[in-house]
Structure 1
């Protein structure tokens, strides 16, 4: 497909538009967690049962990512990107206007529909509009705001909640969204696919149903408090839909995700490793602000400030990832790093009134650094061996698995937290401590998956440069 001809102004402003959208999305994802206890108090909800607000967003994004490329090809990138920013902004406004938990969850779903289309369509435009020689520079520029969002999000969320109200964590999206809508209409090129392809609607329905049913089953053990019989029925139904999808995908021409992707060993290990290793890292942004505020009595602003070392250490680790992988290889890095990350998450069980505050900050900084290295290595090993014709489908599946694993991590953590709270007769701090122990232990099990990698892969820098890293 020949590259489109962009005028100088469009070529200059297009990366800024995509970068702003990425910043909106990552800021929203991190600013919310610190505000959950205040939101729960205002909405008359238990703060330990607010995970539905987080899961509704993550699961909706995971559901729609597989369709984003086809939608952009069918209706044009300018129209879809504009609609994505508009939906995200309207959803943000409705979140701020919500008067109860159900309204807030529905508004988050609408917000997530826009979020699911913003970044995939933005990346697609960049891939199609610029020559490959400029791609690394432009993608680095676009992903930088995504690293800044987690750095300032928790702190900003804490300050807004303490000195204004939780509604402002959503209202600050509106002026940025208005600017993004104007810029999209003015500067976003209207690109479409070279040929019209048929969307795998049946596969999309089966795969989506599997994700929803499995997530609701885990939610049923936590917030929803469903009887165990219903939880088992939902879980078995979800697994049946997943099995039906893969059996069907093996015999249709253009499935949503082809099973042939898993013939590549590094992709199969990377996808499964991402799914299980991210259970802990996905639960962490949800659990930690709650621990600090609900169990340890921190103010929202102090809890938000406490998350700065985690994000700052994650950014500092990025330049070190490649030299470490070059020296040790993917297998050694991912196996050892997974065990270390799980142990560090479990170490948060030591949190309590007797833990010095500087020690807590050091713990969070180490978790941030190790988590950042984990993401870099996992994402790169997943995509590194794919052929060019498989790259788009493989990247989409990785994005889906990342969102799904994070939502499952939050749901699992909430279920464990609820269970331990009941068992301990309301001892909230002990329930948090036991939850961190369990989540850390579960995360460590993913090390056995990464042991299946070739010990030589990644050494001497032969692999890590061949694919552009996917952030997250």
Structure 2
């Protein structure tokens, strides 16, 4: 899963009272300081990514133990992402009021409680509820950590800082698939969730010792009405899409989608009349932010679908073991890790606009190639395709995550991170729903109710087409967009 993903101050440096009162020089930490804090924040992202990637490999085994189908377990993945989408909007305001370090540590605690509940689940409804609790903690961990970075690092260091944050976290997706295969094959899938405990404890200790308690304006009003409107709207829309992927639930799905759309319209009207909306829609007037939201959302729909589709195709379609599946699907994370060190230099040479266009086309081609995978393909070839896809897709996320904030004022960073992270998780959820819908439609014509290789191929083509559509938005970036961040000076 892509959670796309900064830094902060060296230990001992005083917290910033408000972003408006601090100068750029005061906010920018020494290089060593923001790297250390990036590693601490990355522990939360590592835990989140490890959990998600291990889980996707274990889906068929978990489905068997819980007495349900593998595709039905998509609701457990969606419930986690739904909690992220619901509670991320509140993360910025809560961080301002209670302090980023306090909220970060509390969020890890909630995540660990949810992990324990997941490990004790004996049915699908119990697992869905426990994953939702996990998502509440996850909704605060990474956005608050990123907020510390964005308020602390100078713009010219932003790309490098984001790379430092993401690189350790990419170890999760690399270790996750083979580790998940090992756990499912030799242990019990419940150990997937027990693994979070030591990592979370280390994260809390590191946060108390190393992360500065960066705050915004504690007087900011919490938009309770907006929180309820946006939360219920997102919940209805996501579960409406989830139900749409299941046979015999068309009427309920339409009802949820209709209610969600009406509440979304109600939120838009509310946001225009309030001074501190929980999701600040005026941010969409910033061209680089708007284009990053649109282009990044299309890309993330595809990225949400891919970790769901691949393990199912390899295990159900190819008949591979969970361990074998894990060694293949880790290729994407290896490619992503290889890219991170190159991202600043590529952006400096080619700029955001050109780089995002090329990487968008390349990653979409990689996803489309997955549609042609068959059991007789050499593993090395499939591994190479997935590694290249991960390379270019991860580059896109690095670019989108940086340029989104290129023209956002420091005093709006809290609102911007909440808004952007909400759309990240929403579109990742839509990716899972899209993939599950295609698979469910394909199984309707099968006697055994199992998706065929052709069904998986159709699903990959659908999501690859969605990803390729992001190029339309990438072309709308100005040639010099984000030049202050990338250092690109070729304005042709």
Using the size of structure 1 for normalisation, the TM-score is 0.88
1:47-86 correspondence to structure 2 within 5 Å: 47-86=70-109
Q: 1:234 and 1:316 mapped to 2: Cα distance?
A: 42
Aligned Cα root-mean-square deviation (Å) = 2.9
228, 237, 245: which one pairs with 1:214? 237
C-alpha spacing 1:122/1:330, structure 2 compared with 1 (3 Å)? closer
Q: 1:209 and 1:375 mapped to 2: Cα distance?
A: 28
Alignment match, 2:461:
437
2:414 is aligned with 1:396: no
Cα offset for 1:403? 0.9
2:113 is aligned with 1:90: yes
Cα offset for 1:13? 7.7
Q: 2:113 and 2:250 mapped to 1: Cα distance?
A: 37
Q: Does the 8 Å CA contact 1:21/1:85 hold for their aligned counterparts?
A: yes
2:326 is aligned with 1:304: yes
187, 199, 203: which one pairs with 1:176? 199
Q: Does the 8 Å CA contact 2:49/2:173 hold for their aligned counterparts?
A: yes
Q: Does the 8 Å CA contact 2:119/2:193 hold for their aligned counterparts?
A: yes
Q: Which moved more, 1:358-367 or 1:378-387?
A: 378-387
Q: How many residues are treated as equivalent by the alignment?
A: 460
Q: 1:203 and 1:148 mapped to 2: Cα distance?
A: 37
1:361-372 correspondence to structure 2 within 5 Å: 361-372=383-394
2:378 is aligned with 1:347: no
1:145-160 correspondence to structure 2 within 5 Å: 145-160=168-183
* Residues 24-65 of structure 1: CA deviation (Å, up to 9, x unaligned): 122112221111111111111111221111111111112111
64, 68, 83: which one pairs with 1:45? 68
Q: 1:261 and 1:385 mapped to 2: Cα distance?
A: 10
Give the secondary structure class of the aligned counterpart of 2:486. coil
Cα offset for 1:136? 7.8
Cα offset for 1:411? 0.8
Alignment match, 1:453:
477
2:126 is aligned with 1:103: yes
C-alpha spacing 1:140/1:228, structure 2 compared with 1 (3 Å)? closer
2:58 is aligned with 1:35: yes
Cα offset for 1:326? 3.8
2:317 is aligned with 1:280: no
**Structure 2: runs of 5 or more not aligned:** 1-7, 16-32
Alignment match, 2:29:
none
Q: 1:7 and 1:463 mapped to 2: Cα distance?
A: 28
Alignment match, 2:445:
423
Alignment match, 1:470:
none
Q: Does the 8 Å CA contact 1:90/1:111 hold for their aligned counterparts?
A: yes
333, 336, 346: which one pairs with 1:324? 346
Q: 2:154 and 2:292 mapped to 1: Cα distance?
A: 28
1:241-280 correspondence to structure 2 within 5 Å: 241-280=263-302
Cα offset for 1:255? 1.4
1:286-297 correspondence to structure 2 within 5 Å: 286-297=308-319
Give the secondary structure class of the aligned counterpart of 1:250. helix
* Residues 389-424 of structure 1: CA deviation (Å, up to 9, x unaligned): 333322221111111110110011101111012135
250, 253, 263: which one pairs with 1:228? 250
Alignment match, 2:19:
none
Q: Does the 8 Å CA contact 1:343/1:441 hold for their aligned counterparts?
A: no
Q: Does the 8 Å CA contact 1:380/1:464 hold for their aligned counterparts?
A: no
Q: 1:402 and 1:191 mapped to 2: Cα distance?
A: 24
Q: Does the 8 Å CA contact 2:283/2:290 hold for their aligned counterparts?
A: yes
Give the secondary structure class of the aligned counterpart of 1:385. coil
Q: 2:210 and 2:291 mapped to 1: Cα distance?
A: 40
Give the secondary structure class of the aligned counterpart of 2:278. coil
C-alpha spacing 1:197/1:15, structure 2 compared with 1 (3 Å)? same
Cα offset for 1:339? 3.0
Q: Does the 8 Å CA contact 2:159/2:486 hold for their aligned counterparts?
A: no
Q: 1:428 and 1:156 mapped to 2: Cα distance?
A: 27
Q: Does the 8 Å CA contact 1:56/1:105 hold for their aligned counterparts?
A: yes
Cα offset for 1:445? 2.0
Q: Does the 8 Å CA contact 2:162/2:402 hold for their aligned counterparts?
A: no
Cα offset for 1:192? 5.0
Q: 1:179 and 1:164 mapped to 2: Cα distance?
A: 24
* Residues 233-263 of structure 1: CA deviation (Å, up to 9, x unaligned): 3222222222222222122212123332122
Give the secondary structure class of the aligned counterpart of 1:383. coil
Q: 2:401 and 2:161 mapped to 1: Cα distance?
A: 19
Q: 1:99 and 1:367 mapped to 2: Cα distance?
A: 36
**Structure 1: runs of 5 or more not aligned:** 467-472
Q: Does the 8 Å CA contact 1:457/1:463 hold for their aligned counterparts?
A: no
* Residues 412-457 of structure 1: CA deviation (Å, up to 9, x unaligned): 1101111012135445222111111111122222222223222443
Q: 1:276 and 1:407 mapped to 2: Cα distance?
A: 12
